[in-house]
Copies of this chain bind each other. A is one copy, B any other.
Amino acid sequence: MTHPVPFPHMARAVELAKAAAQDGEVPVGAVVVKDGRVVGEGANAPRSHKDPTAHAEIIAMRAAAKALGDERLTGCDLWVTLEPCAMCAGAIAHARISRLYYAADDPKGGAVDNGPRLFTQPTVHHQPEVYGGIMATEAAAILREFFGERR
If A86-B86, A116-B118, A121-B116 touch, does A53 touch B91 (CB 8 Å cutoff)?
yes
Residues from 106 to 151 in A contacting B, C-beta threshold 8 Å: 107-111, 114-116, 118, 121-123, 125
Chain A residues with a Cβ closer than 8 Å to the other chain, count: 42
Dominant secondary structure of chain A at its interface with chain B:
loop
Kindly report which residue of chain B lies nearest to residue A94, judged by CB atoms: B52
* Stretch in contact with the other chain, from A5-13, A16-24, A65-73: A65-73
- A37 contacts partner chain B, Cβ-Cβ < 8 Å: no
Kindly report which residue of chain B lies nearest to residue A117, judged by CB atoms: B116
- A75 contacts partner chain B, Cβ-Cβ < 8 Å: no
- A95 contacts partner chain B, Cβ-Cβ < 8 Å: yes
Q: How far apart sit A107 and B49, CA to CA, in the bound complex (Å)?
A: 33
Interface residues of A (CB under 8 A from B): 46-47, 49-54, 58, 61-62, 65-66, 69-73, 85-91, 93-96, 107-111, 114-116, 118, 121-123, 125
Q: Mind listing 14 A-B residue pairs with CB under 8 Å? A: A49-B71, A50-B69, A51-B62, A51-B65, A53-B61, A53-B62, A53-B91, A54-B71, A86-B111, A87-B91, A87-B93, A89-B90, A107-B123, A110-B123
